[in-house]
Structure 1
Amino acid sequence: MPRFSVIVPVYKVQAYLHACLDSVLGQSYRDIEVIAVDDRSPDGCGEILDAYAARDERLKVLHLPENVGLGRARNAAMPHATGDYLFFLDSDDTLTPGALRALADRLGETGDPDVLVFDYARTYWWGGTRRNVLSHVLTEAAGGTFTADERPEILELLMVVWNKVYRRDFVEREGFSFPPGYYEDTPWTFPVLLSAERIATLDRICLYYRQRRQGNILSTTSRKHFDVHEQYARVFRFVDARPALAHWRPFLHAKMGEHCLDILSKPDRLPPSDRAEFFRRTAEMFHAHRPPGVRIPAELRSLEGGYAGYVLRRRAQRTGRDLARRAGQVRAATAARAVRARSLLRRPLDPDLAVYSAFSHRGMYGDPAAVYRAARELAPHVRGVWVVADEERAAALPPDTPYVLLDSPGYRRVTERATYFVNNVNWPWTLPKRPGSVHIHTHQGTPLKYMGADLLGKPGARLHFDVPRMLRRADRWDYSLVANRHSERVWEGAFPCHFTSLRSGSPRNDVLVRGDEQRARATRERLGVPDGHTVVLYAPTRRDYRRDGLVERIDLARFAADLGEGRTLVVRLHPSLADGPARGLGLAELHRRGVLVDATDEPEVQDVLLAADVLVTDYSAVMVDYALLDRPIVIHADDWDAFRASRGAYVDVTAEAPGHVTRSYRELAWLFASGTWADAESARLRAAFRERFCEFDDGGAAERVVRTLMLGEPMPDPPAGPGLLPAQAGGRDLLTPS
């Protein structure tokens, strides 16, 4: 008996069917059967299914003699299912890698619940990906099992059948089946969740929900949308037959009204001649099923009047919102320009005021934070103020840190008067560069991949970058901090602007050069790394040949297992991926289960680097920072050609690597199994890399920046960083105009 019976109804999806079947049959977890139902599809779907079935005995194909619709096609497959759990997968959607293994593991953890609800992400025809906005519901319920009464928020999730797996004997005992018509998921999902005695969740993205540009059946204009009324009538009949569920009637009543009004609000759902009838039927049903004594929410009160009143209210709401928004925008822009212009003309710069920001106003991090701390010690007369995006970011600042919120009156006051501006990204376009102000751009590391103007000829730039706008912002730079001559050359070429390169080293990396065992131990303890374990840090960069930047190069669960006893895998995602779907594709779940440690939320990457014994990366500039620790580095470059073609690279990290290079997972696993990752050749490669890229980092970068640019002291001799002897540190003047 297989663990999962994956039921796939198929109709007019020949363009997507291969991807769907490949995502299921190609899973590493193989204890499955797949029952595909050809719902008399008029295209080539039947032939595609038969070809797959001939190659894989786990796939069984049912060819229906007539088209019966999505719900009844699923019903046709259920008698043939023998698995412990039913998984209803739409034939234009796909499973994410490792999804079935994660589902099986979670079912085992929770003792085979009646229903397991998992997460999904929407994928768009233009390449975008967006995670379920209610994913936090799954995370908050990730403990044990529960009922809908214990966690009613589970019913706020999208009421679809495909984001859950169902214990087959539970479904058979309760006699659940799908009705005909549109919105067939509604009278399945509500009864199932209300009846389940044990529900569990998995806070992992297991399915990509394809958002088709055209062809989605629920986005077509048709009278079939009237089916929604009968589907909710089925739900109410189910509840009426079970007195113990009567307390759910107010919730279901509101849900029905919301759902029907949502359909009515979409201009492409109903023919114009049918909209009044749809409203009338909805209002009649809303009135018929209204529980006694229940107060109607404001957004549903239109159902108590006529269709003409509903139309007038909708029109007034839209017009009012549009007018208010436009008027507010005009007033705000006009007032801001006037105030700013008057202020700039009459207020002198404050020579003792510095403004700091990092990573688009996320908080006190990176190079700006290191400069700020040095300035407080060496130039206490210079008041430093941080710009943060919101109060949540402000709350994370150290106590008593002066700050202003972006675009607030306080922000405008300090940015109009400050002399020093320190940032590792560009300031907003609305911030003018006043004569006499000093803009210090710290960057975020050594540029290994193309930046600025060099991106203009690369296809990756088309997805993420407005290069001309980027250069106009860089015109405000006065100083560009560099840690090596490679960076100096690259920044001056990629940003052809009038700034001066300062060979200061990287302030954020002073702590790495000095070393801090106590800080490293504290980080390992905070991350939960067992004493005596070797920490293997995996820190991949984003990919510009994918719109969302995410390409999973390594099966993290497999890598963690292959590392063996005494080693802990720590993963840190690129900052641009931290808030997207990447962590929901398995990382968060593996962290929760203790398979690995997700260190993406650690505020300072330097803490994570200090705690690591070896770095595994691909093309991330973090390799230069980590080289300062003189510890082993492994480059996993299995998609180097694609990366270089899409984004471009100044350094061939496969030929000038700081350690061993692997081109496949097999090579990577062997490197760690054999101990080769830390051999003499690794040390030799690292020494050459350090000599080239770590030349100006000697532990005094932050002090150098403050003394030179804020205190006006002469720039000292070039620092002889960890890769160079003092006699080798010659070169051009330290202050090199662009």
Structure 2
Amino acid sequence: MQPGLSVIVHGPDPQGHLGELLDSLTAQPFTGAEVIVAAVGDWARQQAEQRAAEDPRMVVLPLPDGTSDGAARAAGADRATGRWLHFVHAKDGLPAGALRAIADRTAELADTADVLVVNHVRSTWQTAGRPGQDGRYLAGGGRRAAPLADFPQLLWVTSVLGNRIIRADFWRSRAVSDDLADADFGDDETYTALAVLLHADEIAALDEVAYEIRELREQSLPPMTTAQRYQCLERYERLHRLLAARGASEGPRAVLYDLMVRDLLRVFSRSGMPEAEAREFFGRASEAAVRWRPEHHRRPAGFEGVRHAFLEENAYTKYRVFQAANQKRREVRSVVAAGKRQVGAKLRDLRYHRALTEPVDPHLAVFSAYWDRGVACNPAAISAKLAELAPHIHPVWVVARNKAALLPPGTDHVIPGSRRYWDVMAKAKYLVNNVNFPNAVAKRPDAIHLQTHHGTPLKRMGLDQVDFPAASKGLDFDALLARIDKWDYSVSANSHSTRMWERAYPSRYTSLDYGYPRNDVFYSATAEDVRAIRDRLGIAPGRRAILYAPTHRDYEAGWTPRLDLASLADRLGEDTVLLVRGHYFYGGAASPLAGLRRSGRVIDVSSYDPVEELSLAADALVTDYSSIMFDYANLNRPIVIYADDWETYAKTRGVYFDLMAEAPGQVAHTQEELAAVFETGAWRDEAARKALTAFRRRFCEFDDGRAAERVVRRVFLGESEESLPPVVPVDERTPAPTPEEATA
């Protein structure tokens, strides 16, 4: 039986939203629809195939990376068999009940209706499900389908394809298909959304929310090009010609005219064009305004009418004066508001701003890690490789005063807030951090900010914490965005991280899919290195070492021990050493752990750095939700997940995937289960090996031992992407020897 509705999900997976959209579709059990996923790129295909395996309505249509939106829509439409087509962009959403509402409304429409226009909500990183203004236009349409001439206000409905459900025969008709196949306009969604209304014989309306527009942050999108600015002009020229060819009445022509003027003035005012280009664009827009102005058209009232008049008169200078006056008025209001806060500059700020006027030092790099804790993590690995490949670049580390004494001998460093600190922050060509630099640090145009991150995200990060107050704890998201906008590069260890960073930290930085430099040591360490680390830790040869590294709980006011270590050590026996990296392991002499500590069966490694050495020393890892699991997986050694509170953690902190379904090994929910995993040998049985193999392929994707080299060559030496060492496939890598192999 022919389905009534074909939902065509199209595009790549922008900022990790496709999975949410597909999940919302599978949660709507309506059977009268088919779902065609025109998945652009491997990541989108994988997301779609995972859901299609559980939803028989879903058909995956894989498309190569770089396929345009227009081509993806066309491919999806060609595959669709439904009477009505609903184009849903991969970044957007479908509210609960949308499929049923659309199907019910289209089922009652006669074949003379070509398009159904529905209402929508709009979501940003700040707000979810915000109603728009389209209801006032849709309500006037009533329940009947009618020509556009009867309801020209429908042209004001937000111009996206997702709020237009289109009859399949109409979409494939000669006039429409030829128009939308035009190479210059096939990818222009605004043009397509308006053109289907202009072509339609009858249009129906549904004042019910059946679509969610997810508005990506502007700063995460490529800036508008000159060609795109003029395409906006050409779009409306073509639409007006289309209306004229169809002999449209003055109603639709007047609304389209007002739409055109509004959009052209927005492009002119907001795009920051150079003076000569701005003057030329304004002149061409003025010509269009004069050419297409309906005979009896009346300008809007107020400021908008003044803007219309200036454009129609080609009064560029007057418009600029008017624009500047409005800007000045806004600035005065802002200054008055700011006057209630302290705005005077301190001596430190004066020094820093003075230093910012001096030339950038191309041979100076500033490094920091974990909020100035010292030489660590990805920045440390990059700095070490820098000394090898680019010794002409001098590294200076930002280190808190109480950590300075712990630095490796000879480390050039500055203390935050000191005079030299502000001097190097102002002059450094390169600024490298695994978190963010303070808000006060300016982004110079010729400086390069490299964000290395310090883990693979299981828990929600950045803007994705908005809905999880236990995790965000009053985080200033606007300030966070300002810091993100300073990034030039973002280092990633796997495709999952790349997508989640794009989503959690939306801006225009370049993702470096090179692997985590701190994990290079997992492929370069030798048997001698492993023996030396274990010797430093006091692990006797032949003993099994288990690293226990739990993560922090945002929902807890303090630290709650998750395991009875004394009992666990007794169960695991004399030949097992527990390396415990946790904040609670500070018992007194009377503690049951005291004797275990003296015998070396439990070793507190909470303050031991670098953590990579602990991983190299361990035969196995026990963790809960800590990102150490993603790094440790590079060693291809057993990982056991101890998840005694997974449901609580997932609900309060928010997670990006279900660790229980995609764990890197055995999962224990109680201490009894955890002890049994080791007593029975399940920690390294065939099931555990298979789980670890799948986990490594997904999350150790780019970690092959040469990440730091790629970063240094690309960022500091300016080498091309093509010249960098290619990533070695996971199954072809040889990690560092295990402790057992190292002592053989």
TM-score, structure 1 as length reference: 0.51
Query: 1:483-536 deviations in whole A, cap 9, x for unaligned?
Result: 100000000100112211111110000001233322222221111112110101
1:351 aligns with 2:352: no
Residue 363 of structure 1 deviates from its aligned partner by 0.8
Query: 1:80-131 deviations in whole A, cap 9, x for unaligned?
Result: xxxxxxxxxxxxxxxxxxxxxxxxxxxxxxxxxxxxxxxxxxxxxxxxxxxx
Q: Distance in 2 between matches of 1:636 and 1:465?
A: 29
Contact 1:350 1:418 (C-alpha < 8 Å) held by counterparts: yes
| 1:231-630 matched pairs, under 5 angstroms | 334-345=346-357, 347-390=358-401, 392-463=402-473, 465-548=475-558, 550-573=559-582, 577=583, 583-584=586-587, 589=594, 592-594=597-599, 595-630=601-636
Residue 394 of structure 1 deviates from its aligned partner by 2.0
Contact 1:538 1:615 (C-alpha < 8 Å) held by counterparts: yes
Q: Distance in 2 between matches of 1:500 and 1:331?
A: 34
Contact 1:448 1:651 (C-alpha < 8 Å) held by counterparts: yes
Tell me the equivalent position of 2:93.
none
Contact 1:420 1:440 (C-alpha < 8 Å) held by counterparts: yes
Q: Which amino acid aligns with 2:674?
A: L
Residue 668 of structure 1 deviates from its aligned partner by 0.6
Q: Distance in 2 between matches of 1:475 and 1:481?
A: 15
Q: Distance in 2 between matches of 1:412 and 1:668?
A: 50
Q: Distance in 1 between matches of 2:392 and 2:462?
A: 36
Shift of the 451–386 alpha-carbon distance from structure 1 to 2, 3 Å rule, reads same
Shift of the 447–375 alpha-carbon distance from structure 1 to 2, 3 Å rule, reads same
Shift of the 725–512 alpha-carbon distance from structure 1 to 2, 3 Å rule, reads closer
Residue 449 of structure 1 deviates from its aligned partner by 0.7
Q: Which amino acid aligns with 2:671?
A: Y
Shift of the 646–528 alpha-carbon distance from structure 1 to 2, 3 Å rule, reads same
Tell me the equivalent position of 1:713.
719
Residue 721 of structure 1 deviates from its aligned partner by 4.4
* Structure 2: runs of 5+ lacking an equivalent: 1-341, 734-744
Residue 591 of structure 1 deviates from its aligned partner by 6.7
Q: Distance in 1 between matches of 2:557 and 2:480?
A: 19
How many residue pairs align between the two structures? 389
Shift of the 564–722 alpha-carbon distance from structure 1 to 2, 3 Å rule, reads farther
Q: Distance in 2 between matches of 1:343 and 1:591?
A: 56
3-state DSSP class of the match of 1:386? strand
Q: Distance in 2 between matches of 1:332 and 1:611?
A: 53
Query: 1:594-626 deviations in whole A, cap 9, x for unaligned?
Result: 440011111100000000000001111100110
Identity %: 47
Identify the match of residue 664 of structure 1 among 666, 670, 680: 670
Tell me the equivalent position of 1:93.
none
3-state DSSP class of the match of 2:532? helix
Residue 353 of structure 1 deviates from its aligned partner by 0.5
Q: Distance in 1 between matches of 2:609 and 2:563?
A: 24
Q: Distance in 1 between matches of 2:690 and 2:513?
A: 26
Q: Which amino acid aligns with 1:715?
A: E
Q: Distance in 1 between matches of 2:536 and 2:404?
A: 22
| 1:31-46 matched pairs, under 5 angstroms | none
Q: Distance in 2 between matches of 1:565 and 1:591?
A: 10
Q: Distance in 2 between matches of 1:558 and 1:718?
A: 48
Q: Which amino acid aligns with 1:540?
A: P
Tell me the equivalent position of 1:680.
686
Contact 1:634 1:677 (C-alpha < 8 Å) held by counterparts: yes
Residue 344 of structure 1 deviates from its aligned partner by 1.4
* Structure 1: runs of 5+ lacking an equivalent: 1-329, 727-738
Q: Which amino acid aligns with 1:501?
A: S
3-state DSSP class of the match of 1:583? coil
3-state DSSP class of the match of 2:460? coil
Q: Distance in 1 between matches of 2:461 and 2:343?
A: 37
Shift of the 443–462 alpha-carbon distance from structure 1 to 2, 3 Å rule, reads closer
Contact 1:694 1:721 (C-alpha < 8 Å) held by counterparts: no
Q: Distance in 2 between matches of 1:445 and 1:356?
A: 18
Tell me the equivalent position of 1:128.
none
* Alignment RMSD (CA, Å): 2.3
Identify the match of residue 640 of structure 1 among 646, 659, 672: 646
Contact 1:368 1:422 (C-alpha < 8 Å) held by counterparts: yes
Residue 551 of structure 1 deviates from its aligned partner by 2.7
Contact 2:548 2:578 (C-alpha < 8 Å) held by counterparts: yes
Residue 635 of structure 1 deviates from its aligned partner by 0.6
Q: Distance in 2 between matches of 1:591 and 1:371?
A: 38
Query: 1:283-318 deviations in whole A, cap 9, x for unaligned?
Result: xxxxxxxxxxxxxxxxxxxxxxxxxxxxxxxxxxxx
Contact 2:585 2:604 (C-alpha < 8 Å) held by counterparts: no
Contact 1:569 1:597 (C-alpha < 8 Å) held by counterparts: yes
Contact 1:697 1:719 (C-alpha < 8 Å) held by counterparts: no
3-state DSSP class of the match of 2:545? strand
Residue 420 of structure 1 deviates from its aligned partner by 0.3
Query: 1:365-399 deviations in whole A, cap 9, x for unaligned?
Result: 11000000100110011111111101x42222222
Contact 1:696 1:719 (C-alpha < 8 Å) held by counterparts: no
Query: 1:225-281 deviations in whole A, cap 9, x for unaligned?
Result: xxxxxxxxxxxxxxxxxxxxxxxxxxxxxxxxxxxxxxxxxxxxxxxxxxxxxxxxx
Residue 718 of structure 1 deviates from its aligned partner by 7.6
Q: Distance in 2 between matches of 1:725 and 1:571?
A: 32
Contact 2:710 2:725 (C-alpha < 8 Å) held by counterparts: no
Contact 2:566 2:596 (C-alpha < 8 Å) held by counterparts: no
3-state DSSP class of the match of 2:407? coil
Q: Which amino acid aligns with 1:520?
A: V
Residue 662 of structure 1 deviates from its aligned partner by 0.9
Shift of the 381–590 alpha-carbon distance from structure 1 to 2, 3 Å rule, reads farther
3-state DSSP class of the match of 1:447? coil
Q: Distance in 1 between matches of 2:474 and 2:536?
A: 35
Q: Distance in 1 between matches of 2:415 and 2:469?
A: 36
Contact 1:357 1:364 (C-alpha < 8 Å) held by counterparts: yes
3-state DSSP class of the match of 2:486? coil
3-state DSSP class of the match of 2:663? coil
Contact 1:628 1:722 (C-alpha < 8 Å) held by counterparts: no
Q: Which amino acid aligns with 1:340?
A: Y
Contact 2:519 2:631 (C-alpha < 8 Å) held by counterparts: yes
3-state DSSP class of the match of 1:354? strand
Residue 471 of structure 1 deviates from its aligned partner by 2.6
1:723 aligns with 2:730: yes
Query: 1:331-373 deviations in whole A, cap 9, x for unaligned?
Result: 995212222222212x010111100011111111110000001
Residue 711 of structure 1 deviates from its aligned partner by 0.4
Q: Distance in 1 between matches of 2:544 and 2:473?
A: 38
Q: Distance in 1 between matches of 2:489 and 2:653?
A: 26
Q: Which amino acid aligns with 1:444?
A: H
Q: Report the more deviating stretch, 617-626 or 710-719.
A: 710-719
Q: Distance in 2 between matches of 1:412 and 1:587?
A: 50
Residue 724 of structure 1 deviates from its aligned partner by 5.2
Q: Distance in 2 between matches of 1:470 and 1:588?
A: 42
Q: Which amino acid aligns with 2:399?
A: V
